[in-house]
Amino acid sequence: MKKRPLAVVVVAVLLMLTGAISLAGDLMNFKSVSADHYEIVWMVAVHLLAIVAGAFVLRGMNWARWLAIAWMAFHVAISIGHPAQQLIVHGLLLLLFVWLLFRADSRAYFRTRASA
């Protein structure tokens, strides 16, 4: 399979846009960084993981598909204890990612890339 499925493109673009926009927004909100603020390191790492996952999902790397699912599952987990709407949205996005990345055409795309 040479052509990249639209489902893969949709997930990859969502991941890269979310990672980039969130990273830019978080960095603009931090006025000063001190040694006591480890949370910025974790936030930057999470946003960079989204960008990396999206970029490598586009390249057909199977590990990136699993990283994308794990990244979304992480967001579902950290949504617990927040408003129910946030948990529902993240849960639905996780289901959407799983469905899009494990459809027959997407599986074939990742399988073809893995054997190449």
Q: Taking the model in full, what pTM does it have?
A: 0.87
Position 104 scores a pLDDT of 94
Amino acid of residue 114:
A
Position 28 scores a pLDDT of 81
Does residue 42 surpass a pLDDT of 50? yes
Does residue 1 surpass a pLDDT of 50? no
Pairwise pLDDT comparison (14 vs 34), residue with the higher score: 14
Rounded to an integer, what distance in angstroms lies between the CA atom of residue 71 and that of residue 53? 9
Position 102 scores a pLDDT of 96
Dump the DSSP string for the chain.
Answer: --SPPHHHHHHHHHHHHHHHHHHHHHHHH-S---TT-THHHHHHHHHHHHHHHHHHHHTT-HHHHHHHHHHHHHHHHHHTTS-HHHHHHHHHHHHHHHHHHTSHHHHHHHHHHHH-
Mean pLDDT within 104-110: 94
Amino acid of residue 55:
A
Nearest-CA neighbor of 93 among 114, 66, 110, 69? 69
Rounded to an integer, what distance in angstroms lies between the CA atom of residue 44 and that of residue 1? 35
Does residue 46 surpass a pLDDT of 90? yes
